[in-house]
Structure 1
């Protein structure tokens, strides 16, 4: 069997988890950003007449749309030219030296790699016995360490860290909660996770940091050269307790852009259920017959 066949067979045994939100008119975006707009500008009933002149009798028609959006709307990726401290980007590069009207000459999203890496879901609310973190809760370093210990996994250098707060559920159902009430990372927690050396950090909220997002962005993008992605959808991974997976993130190659819309996904083994590794995989139940003298065992798989 060829290497390709082996790979396809392995992928066939995996479950695909879509980690992105929908893009739609009226979707929640940062209050300082332009709204997302998409509309159809070519309709089938109109273009069929145009193409009849090109290919008579075929009945061919097409339709196209126009999208106007920031590259930081919905599920998106931040490149290193997105944020600066005192006018300086990563490695002390002056933003003014590389910025032009049509994009940046360095650190644009077109320089970002395609990520195919081990992903580690850090399910903070679940580790606390919660479904969602309290409003405006600031995650601490102890929260992250406790969640990883509870899951029985470690975050290693080069991994993709996926931080769950539980607020992705509000993206479509309650935009106000998604925009204004989300929990997120404290500066201290951001420094802690940066010290682990991940290649990419992602979160399921609007702006990553609480109470304010600015310092946290600088810690990752400027101080440590760690890419950032936000507005992820992590509920399915959390439901299946897939704390380790293969994560794929491919930013668009938009030359000189500060970010990119993305549709990331994760691959993980298909299992009926995943339990944290610190729990037993089986429970042995000992039952007694009515006479009290005989016993039998039932082994229940978790």
Structure 2
């Protein structure tokens, strides 16, 4: 089998929203300590991460209580690299993904904005009608290859987040799909178990059981 690590590495100069990660050296062998120990200051939504319903809905499910069944299992990577605008319901219909529980959208973000260290002025996101399509079709997890699944033009109203998280659909963001061909895989996405948190950074992999 072949394993694709779709997780962004976390470091102080990485692509970020808000504050950059900070690393403090607590102990080091070079300084005569018994071991190397670091302390990291990072947000729950740093790097590749999962948004829990509690991110936008007070009292909704936090990340430590979301179902692992939604984050582990068959997934489809959909080729949306031909789009120059946000993914719409019509695009999802055309992709033939109705009935899928876990969908990852591979866009031009993977080879472009995702590789930069500063937030881009625009990126490919998910249109609100596509978010409604996802809910109507019983999708449990939707992923995309950028800081946020929200359209760059809707980061004040956050329409797609409200639709998705308000209906308990998990969102995987910052999935690096550049080296992943469209197709079917097994997704293993395990966010840190941060008690009561609105989301968490995660290690996410795609497994191709027939790959070499």
Same fold (TM over 0.5): yes
After superposition, the Cα gap between the structure-2 partners of 1:264 and 1:271, relative to the gap in structure 1 and judged at 3 Å, is: closer
Please give the TM-score of this superposition, normalised by the length of structure 1: 0.63
Is the CA contact (8 Å cut-off) linking 1:160 and 1:200 kept in structure 2? yes
Please give the TM-score of this superposition, normalised by the length of structure 2: 0.88
Distance 1:172 1:195 in 2: 29
Distance 1:45 1:193 in 2: 52
Deviation per CA, 1:151-182: give whole Å up to 9, x if none.
xxx4425x211011121234564334x53221
Distance 1:203 1:173 in 2: 14
Query: Which protein has greater RCO, CA pairs closer than 8 Å, 6+ apart?
Result: 2
Structure 1 unmatched runs, 5+? 1-13, 49-60, 84-88, 90-94, 99-105, 149-153, 273-302
**Mapping 1:114-129, distance limit 5 Å:** 114=68, 115-125=71-81
Is the CA contact (8 Å cut-off) linking 1:28 and 1:171 kept in structure 2? no
Instruction: Show the counterpart of 2:111.
Output: 169
User: Is residue 2:9 matched to residue 1:65?
Assistant: no
Which structure: greater helix fraction?
1
Q: 2:9 aligns with which of 22, 30, 55?
A: 22
Distance 2:11 2:106 in 1: 23
Q: 2:163 aligns with which of 201, 219, 229?
A: 219
Is the CA contact (8 Å cut-off) linking 2:8 and 2:48 kept in structure 1? yes
- Higher-Rg member (1/2): 1
Instruction: Show the counterpart of 1:109.
Output: 63
Distance 1:74 1:179 in 2: 15
Instruction: Show the counterpart of 2:149.
Output: 208
